[in-house]
Structure formats: C-alpha cells, structure tokens
Amino acid sequence: MNYDLIVIGSGPGGYVAAIRASQLGMKVAVVERESLGGICLNWGCIPTKALLKSAQVFEYISHSSDYGITVEGAKADFDNIIKRSRGVADGMSKGIQFLFRKNKITVLNGNGKLVRGKKVEVTDAGGSRMEYSANNIILATGARAKELPNLKIDGKKIIGYREAMNLTKQPKRMVVVGAGAIGVEFAYFYHAIGTEVTVVEFLEQGLVPREDADISKELAKHFKKSGIKVMANTAVESVATTGKTLKVKVKNRKDGKEEEIDCDVVLSAAGVTPNTENIGLEALGIITDRGMVKVDEFYHTNVAGIYAIGDIIPGPALAHVASAEGIICVENIAGKSPSPLDYNNIPGCTYCSPEIASVGYTEQAAKDAGYELKIGKFPFTASGKAKAAGTPEGFVKVIFDAKYGEFLGAHFIGANVTEMIAEVVAARKLETTGHEIIKTVHPHPTMSEAVMEAAAAAYGEVIHL
C-alpha cells in the first residue's frame, strides 16, 4: 500500500503527472472518484469540441450552396449530436485506462483526502475507507462551475457547463451568463443548431473580455451578424424560475436601464471554482489564498512532500497548463532540475466560430508595461487559402517591441487559428524577432502565411496588402 507518488485527480494535470512519474521509475497510484480524464476529457475540452464540430458541419451543410453544392432537408438532430459527443468522451477516457495499464499505474476509485503522515484516505462509493501512504502526493482535484450569488445552479433551469453538454431536450431560447471561452463556445453551438441565444457579460469589453480588444470587437461583429444578441457591461439582477419560462432581469451597469429576458434555460458560464474543500488541507495546515493552494515554482506546498497543480493553484485554468505543471512537478521530484514554467508564454484558445487563439501581451498590456510597439495586422480577406475555403473572417495581429524586435504577443481570430498559434509560442520560446518571422518562408497557400504577412506589416514590408 506504499507508493512513491499518489496523485489525487486524473484530469489533464493528474494523469499526465502520473504517466511521467511512471516513466521516471516511480511506483504510482491515482485516486479518481469519477471517470479517468477528469473534467477535460469527460465534461470539458473534448466533448465540447465534438459538439462544436457538429455545429460547424451543420453550418457547412446549411450554406452548401456557397460552395456550389445543393443539399435539401438537412436538420440538426440534437439527441444524436449529444450522443456523439458523449461517445467521443467515453472513448478518450478509455484511452487513459489503456495508458495507465501500459505504465503500470494503480487506480484507486473513490474520494481522496489527505491525512497526516503522508497518507491518503480513499472512500469508495459504498462508504468503505482505505489508507495508502506515499513518499510524495500531488493534489490535482481541478475545478467546477462557479456559482453567482443570484444565479444558483439547479441543473435543470439554471445549468452549468456539465448540464449544457448533456441536455435531454434542445432549448428554444437560452441566456448565457458570462462571455469567456465557455460562454461563447456554448453560445455559438446552441445558436448554430437553432436555439435563440442571448449572451450577458458583466465587463464592459463584452465578448472574451480577457482577449485583446480588437479580438473582442471582431467576434462581437460576427456574433451580431449571425443573430446572437450580446449585452455587455450588464449584470444579472435576478432569475425567476416559477413560471413556464424563466424571467431573467438584467441591468446595464452604465445607464442603469433594466430589461427582462424570457428563456427556457440559463447557462451560468461565469468561470470556475477550485475543488479544494474536503481534501484535508486544513488538517495538514496547507496554506491557501481565496480557495487556491499556495505553491512555489515547482508546485511544492508549505508541507513537505505535498504538491498541487492545475486549477487549484493560481494561474490560467487551462488543461495544457495543468499538464505542463504536472510534468515539471514530477521531474523536480525525480531530481531532473526542470525549468519553471513561463506563464507569459501560455497559449489560450477559444473554439467558437470564428476561433480565437492568443499568446503573450495584449496591445494594452504591452503599453501598460512600458513598451514602444510595432503592431502588424493581416486580414484573412487577403488570404487566398481563407477565401478559397469560404472563411475570410478575422485576422492575425502581432505585437513586437520596437526597440529590440522581441515578439511580445499575437492574437488570431478566424477559421482553424487554434492550430496556428503554436508557431508563435515556439517563436517566443526561442526569442525569435519580428525580422526572423518575416524571413521564415511559409507555405502557400495556407492560413499560416498571415503570421508572416502580419509581421511584415508591422515593419512596413507587407506584400499582399
């Protein structure tokens, strides 16, 4: 019952940490109360992308005449769209089972809780308890949908992201509260298959408020054109759930104007809350700050041998961040001397349509940091590949330090741009300059040419504008 490492949680942080530890020769166990893969594989990253792909395919079919193809009688089958999404998630979870068997990782089914003496108590579904000891323990318990004081999730009329991807009936009208990645992805999905959608965002910038302002404006333009109503700088005052329909009372934070919206369901997409309750933090004296576990650059807590990664520590709540943290944490435990993670070079992706991808400084953040900037933009309307594909929406925006040419940031919006951002992440990791990007030959015709062209635009050398 003694292990070199026990990981509590099998999401993209936990399972990756466990596999890397096994590769490094450790005897590993993972505690999981639900399905392997955590929220990401089962209720987040993967199944939502399956839903979004169905929406995209339906949009292609609905606009097939734009491509010279006639299709009649197409309709979105909500039940089968949901069924396909769940099937994709189940398949990925089974893939983690295979990887655990391959790497000889023990799975301990149940709720994990820290107890003194570097031990983990696991309570199974029947209430039976067992204790396991380990030289090192990693907490990777993830997060859940955040509840607002006046927006309590009941799972039926007011729902979170888990319920949103597993509804038994497609709503005719939906209000999405929160315009971050989760909110805009579900807004796009439901609108694309025929639901009337209103997005309510508390912050003034509106859609994707943490992105560069130009990205937010471009997405707002596209959402408005497609028929999605967006209410920025607006607070939800109350939700009445007693009638046949829900009555959502909202208030504009600028002029105080109130409005009531009728809908069938409200999706709360106002962020996430870390799962740090009932895992034994207090008993061991592990320090937290507003629910987040405090760690050093290698994810060590203030208690020897106890580590924490992913959504329960400060930083971006992203699957790829949790995975990177897990690998660094384990390699440090194994004495491999890894480099700390550079949190200023983390890509962010939003998979609505058009897609959004970004890394590094926004224009405003770079100005606030005191940089003198060179900024280049290249619209996909000038891209041969984008025009041929029928997806000319959006642009690439790149930001360089005018003094040294440092690649400060990049912001993409358009079709498939989430597949393009890694070029910039690698370039920034290698300390590539703007002129080096310009002189890097990009294949033609591709969407990725826009990165080269945008860099050239920043230095007054753009060819195709």
Residues designated catalytic: 444
Structural element, H or E, at residue 186: helix 181-192
- Here the tokens at position 363 are 């224009």
Angle between helices 45-62 and 78-102 (to 10 degrees): 140
Counting every residue written for the chain, the total comes to: 465
Q: Which amino acid is at 304?
A: A
Among residues 457, 392, 446, the alpha carbon closest in space to that of 423 is found at 446
The span from the CA of 409 to the CA of 367, in Å, is: 12
Q: Name the DSSP letter for residue 341.
A: P
* Sole residue written with tokens 């919206």: 261
Do residues 288 and 274 make contact, with C-beta atoms less than 8 angstroms apart? no
Do residues 370 and 225 make contact, with C-beta atoms less than 8 angstroms apart? no
Beta strand 258-263 pairing with 246-252: antiparallel
Which residues are CB-contacts of 93 (< 8 A; sequence separation ≥ 6)? Answer: 35, 36, 37, 41, 42
- Here the tokens at position 168 are 């038994």
In 3-state terms, what secondary structure has residue 376?
strand
The span from the CA of 32 to the CA of 364, in Å, is: 42
